[in-house]
Amino acid sequence: MKKSKLRSKKAFGLILIAAISCALLWLFLDQPRPHNPKVFGEPAKTQWKPVGAQSAGQYNYDIIPEPTTWSAIHVNVSNADSVWGVAAPMFELDWVAEPAYFIPSGPLLDNQGNLYFSSNFYHGERVDLVSIDAKTGERRWAIPAIGKMSVGGPFILNDPDNPGAQIIYVAGPERVMAVRQDGSILWSKATGIKVALIEEKGEDKDQTHFQNFNYHPSAARPAI
């Protein structure tokens, strides 16, 4: 009998604690909270000054672009993560483009200010390379997907045969291509590598993510 009363008291206590907890949660979580984001004014003029150009590797800029912008995922083929330039302390959003794509490796900019990107993650149209007008956000052109290319991020080099022009290189496990700034394909070569496909929901899907490739000056060619 005593045990039964003790159990009843414990059960009642637990129910009471649960009811109080629910009431407190409703009281604090159901009430609208004031939204007062912190507002920052314009920053004071910086006293920072550059200490001089810094670069990794020993090479000239006949083929490798000067690091005045992002011609590769880490600025340049040396992965320097260092850009020659300055930027204003305040920014404003001008446009949003190509919302169907997630772009983990880019975008890049050429010497005319045009943007380029490749994407493994997309909704709808599948493309291997897209070029965008940096001023308007409008698409200039796109290279349709060629088979199971599974491209990584592109990179840009100067065209040694045409001073002032540049070439955009894009690669995947199965194919490498070079594209001019107007979207025309300079060359496209198969690597000879075959990517195994995995059946998923009745479809053959490429589960490979090709991260990137690079350029070795001593080899004078892109290398995967």
Residue predicted with more confidence, 38 or 210: 38
Alpha carbon dihedral 70, 75, 76, 78, in 10-degree steps, equals 180
pLDDT value, residue 219: 63
209-223 per-position pLDDT tens digit: 566 777 777 665 554
- Given a cut of 90, whether residue 23 has pLDDT beyond it is no
Q: Which two tokens stand for residue 121?
A: 């993650």
Residues 57/63/64/69 CA torsion (nearest 10 deg):
160
Q: Do 108 and 28 share a structural domain?
A: no
> Looking up tokens 């507002």, which residue turns up?
39
Q: Confirm whether 24 is domain-assigned.
A: yes
Q: Has residue 192 been placed in a domain?
A: yes
Question: Are residues 107 and 24 both part of a single domain?
Answer: no
Average pLDDT in the 178-206 region? 76
Residue range(s) defining the domain that contains residue 28: 1-33
Q: Give the total number of structural domains in the chain.
A: 2
* Residue 168 reports pLDDT greater than 90: yes
CATH, residue 192: 2.40.10.480
The predicted structure's pLDDT at residue 80: 74
The reply to whether 194 falls in a domain is yes
What's the token pair of residue 28?
Answer: 């604090």
108 and 216 share a domain? yes
- Same domain, yes or no: 119 and 212: yes
**Buried b vs exposed e over 68-90: b needs ≥16 C-beta within 10 Å?**
ebbbbbebbbbeeeeeeeeeeee
For residue 176, the one-letter residue type is V
For residues 129 and 106, what is the distance between their CA atoms, to the nearest angstrom?
11
pLDDT at 57 over 70: no
Strand ordering across the sheet containing 115-117: 108-109, 115-117, 127-132, 139-144
Coil, strand, or helix at residue 10?
helix
0.85 exceeded by pTM: no
- Among the listed residues 174, 186, 169, the one whose alpha carbon sits nearest the alpha carbon of residue 149: 174
pLDDT score recorded for residue 176: 85
Give the pLDDT of residue 224: 47
Does 67 reside within a domain? no
b/e per residue 96-121 (b: at least 16 CB within 10 A): ebbeebebebbbbbbbeebbbbbbbe
Q: Same structural domain for residues 14 and 107?
A: no
**Quick check: is 62 in a domain?**
no
In a domain, 63, yes or no: no
Residue pair 151/179 in contact (Cβ under 8 Å)? The answer is no
pLDDT tens-place string over residues 104-137: 777 889 999 999 988 766 677 788 889 999 889 9
Tokens standing for 215?
A: 């350029």
Task: Note whether residue 86 is domain-resident.
Answer: no
Same domain (yes/no): 214, 107 = yes
Q: Is residue 135 part of a domain?
A: yes
Does 180 score more than 50 pLDDT? yes
Pair 204, 105 in one domain:
yes
